[in-house]
Amino acid sequence: MKFATLRTYALSLPEVTEEPHHQSGSFRVRGKIFVTIPPEQTHVHVFVSEEQRERALAMYPAFTEKLMWGGKVAGLRLALANAASATAKQLVRQAWEHKAPQALLTSGAEPGL
């Protein structure tokens, strides 16, 4: 999957902004980071729930690995070159849902394209 495709998808989700995060970029919903983008843009870090993370690690070992953050497992690191587009988009949507406020989730806004 190309980063540009993932970026377009992430920005199509309700109330998403793209902002710097240290030396990386990030996608945020109402200020909460749900994806970070290292400078080389060959990987992304998605902050999904523990259950979603473990399921993705089991189902997609070719392009997912645990993301360590401050000594803890915080999400997934996706290798974009190996990632199926539909699966990567699904994980980004799950990360958005994990960080979005409940009011936004129940507002009837349909996330994504």
Q: CA quadruple 64, 66, 68, 69: dihedral positive or negative? A: positive
Domain boundaries, the chain: 3-96
Residue 103 has pLDDT above 90, yes or no: no
Where does the pLDDT of residue 48 fall: very low under 50, low under 70, confident under 90, or very high at 90 and above? Answer: very high
Instruction: Give the CATH fold of the 3-96 domain.
Output: Aspartate Aminotransferase, domain 1 (3.90.1150)
| Entry pTM | 0.91
Average pLDDT, the chain: 93
Chain-centroid distance, C-alpha 12: 13
Residue 94 has pLDDT above 50, yes or no: yes
Residue 6 has pLDDT above 50, yes or no: yes
Decide: residue 40, CB within 10 A, 0-12 exposed, 13-18 middle, 19+ buried.
Answer: exposed
Q: In this predicted structure, what is the pLDDT of residue 113?
A: 45
